[in-house]
Structure 1
Amino acid sequence: MAVKVLILEDNPVARGFLCRVVRESFSDVDSITEASDLDAARRLLGHAPGGRATPSADPFQLVMVDLELPDGSGLELLTELSSYPATRIVTTLYSDDEHLFPALQCGADGYLLKEDRFEVLVEELQKIVRGQPPLSPAIARRLLNHFRSGEGLAGNGHGVAEPPAPGAPSPATAPAPLDHERLTPRESEVLTYLSKGFTIKEIASLMGIKWFTVNDHIKSIYKKLNVSSRAEAAVLASKQGLV
């Protein structure tokens, strides 16, 4: 089955560039659909403006979204894709907090700068297969500096939580909810492979499924176990006897 990709970008030169990046990044991608505005993207995704995208029998597995579009903001589409089983990557020229944090709040799984070199974008996009968020180097540094400086310890307009009230358990020590009984057999199998250090591509080969499907299982596992990384998932799985 061909991996389907949707690229939402109003600039035709940038669209062509991103198409080349995608084809260079993934050997199993041979279906790339292009959209130049929100309306066209919504039609391709099969939902009405302002509504939520509902997966079809043959959904897109990767959606790349520009933020500044002729008929609105790419943030609108990211919000509408909250229940859509695709990896959502922002591709933009903006590296400032005013664009970065709202995009992450709206559900972006990665944030890439179109001004980066072709080779850098390919390398960052390939991180999806390894279970890592694709972030342009400048964006990764910005996020790191943001939390190192302590800005993430107080509400700042970017959706960062306030400090816990006196006597409340800190986020670092609060126990994760024991939702492991909700894992499906497939998710449990993926979690086992993750805990043993296999990459997404290796897991896909072992299970006989597409790596985008493995990626979807991992996102579901993270959500159910209330973790945000492979390491956290592996530790929790070991503690709870899941693997």
Structure 2
Amino acid sequence: MLSNTVLASPGAAALAPSAPSAGQFSTIDNPPSVWPDFMVGQRGRPVRVLLVDDDAHLRHVIAQELMADARTLLVAQAGSVREGRRAIRLHEFDVLLVDLHLGDGVGFELLADLKRLRPGAQAVMISVVENDDQVLRAFEQGAVGYVCKNSWFGNYTQAVLQVANGGAAITPHLARRLLQRFDRPHAGEAKRRQPDEVERLSAREKEILRMVATGYTSAEIGARLLISGMTVNTHIRNIYRKLQVRTRAQAVRFASLRGLF
């Protein structure tokens, strides 16, 4: 149950929420969020999404969320691996939201089709659980995001916008677990085996890679470092070349294995 808000006297600057009791939520009136013109996902040019999930109810929930935001457009839905493959062939889209467990297979099967047929599109895996091994497998096969179905509403749209703008969609809690998984003995062993790859990265490249690992987009990194997004992308390409990887997720995993974070 949401607590009530009380209108302040004339001329007051804000609404004052009443104190919530235990177990309740309070409402906070924030100003509208700002979405810069240079970001991908604008009115008239939304991020196009293909949704594949065998749960009809959840598919409806996600579809409503995506269509309620002017920055995203749901172009097609599918409920199986077979239908997903057909949809990938037939529709133009920017981001694939795909369930891990489908009735006739697993979402991993569609990542290969995506890479072959729509190499410019990004993939976000969705699942009922955040299993570390499954997350790593998804990233290794080209996904750039992993969203738990039990996440708070609004996460699907944010995940789509994040990956469409060059970022990675992953919860801070899961990111922390994955980094801890490669900590200490594994990171030490990796550094002993190949000590020079990370050393070839410049100080600026290491700084940008750390920011990529925390989920910042190229535009956000550029704003923080006072450089252009194009310069950030040039650094990222150099990081890929030096580390011999192809995706942001692979670069982050490589650096975490070698103790860069």
Equivalent position to 1:62, from 95, 101, 117: 95
Deviation at 1:109, TM superposition (A): 0.7
Deviation at 1:17, TM superposition (A): 1.8
Equivalent position to 1:113, from 148, 166, 179: 148
Distance in structure 2 (CA, Å) of the matches to 1:173 and 1:217 = 18
1:32: which partner in 2?
Answer: 75
Q: Is the 8 A contact 1:7 1:64 kept in 2?
A: yes
Deviations 1:146-178 (A, max 9, x none): 233544556xxxxxxx5554xx543311359xx
Distance in structure 2 (CA, Å) of the matches to 1:194 and 1:137 = 17
Change (3 A) 1:93 1:196: closer
What TM-score results when the alignment is normalised by the length of structure 1? 0.59
Equivalent position to 2:110, from 67, 71, 77: 77
Matched, 1:145 2:180: yes
Deviation at 1:20, TM superposition (A): 3.0
Deviation at 1:59, TM superposition (A): 2.3
Q: Is the 8 A contact 2:125 2:147 kept in 1?
A: yes
Equivalent position to 1:43, from 86, 109, 116: 86
Q: Is the 8 A contact 2:49 2:75 kept in 1?
A: yes
Change (3 A) 1:152 1:39: farther
Change (3 A) 1:33 1:193: closer
1:22: which partner in 2?
Answer: 66
Equivalent position to 2:121, from 86, 97, 106: 86
Deviation at 1:18, TM superposition (A): 1.7
Where 1:27 maps in the other structure, the secondary structure is coil
Where 1:10 maps in the other structure, the secondary structure is coil
What TM-score results when the alignment is normalised by the length of structure 2? 0.56
Deviation at 1:118, TM superposition (A): 0.4
5+ unaligned residues in a row in structure 2: which ranges? 1-44, 203-217, 252-261
Distance in structure 1 (CA, Å) of the matches to 2:53 and 2:154 = 20
Matched, 1:97 2:97: no
Aligned length: 182
Q: Percent identity?
A: 22
- Letter matched to residue 66 of structure 1: D
Distance in structure 2 (CA, Å) of the matches to 1:2 and 1:130 = 12
Distance in structure 2 (CA, Å) of the matches to 1:217 and 1:34 = 35
Deviation at 1:70, TM superposition (A): 1.0
Supply the RMSD in Å over aligned alpha carbons. Answer: 3.8
Where 1:42 maps in the other structure, the secondary structure is helix
Distance in structure 1 (CA, Å) of the matches to 2:185 and 2:100 = 27
Where 2:174 maps in the other structure, the secondary structure is helix
Q: Is the 8 A contact 2:51 2:76 kept in 1?
A: yes
Deviation at 1:220, TM superposition (A): 6.7
Deviations 1:167-195 (A, max 9, x none): x543311359xxxxxxxxxxxxxxx9788
- Letter matched to residue 84 of structure 2: A
Q: Residues 168-187 of structure 1 correspond to what in structure 2 (within 5 A)?
A: 169-174=195-200
Equivalent position to 1:7, from 45, 51, 56: 51
5+ unaligned residues in a row in structure 1: which ranges? 47-55, 155-161, 177-191, 208-215, 233-243
1:158: which partner in 2?
Answer: none
Distance in structure 2 (CA, Å) of the matches to 1:23 and 1:153 = 47
Deviation at 1:99, TM superposition (A): 1.3
Greater Rg by CA: 2
Deviation at 1:60, TM superposition (A): 1.2
Distance in structure 2 (CA, Å) of the matches to 1:123 and 1:28 = 10
1:212: which partner in 2?
Answer: none
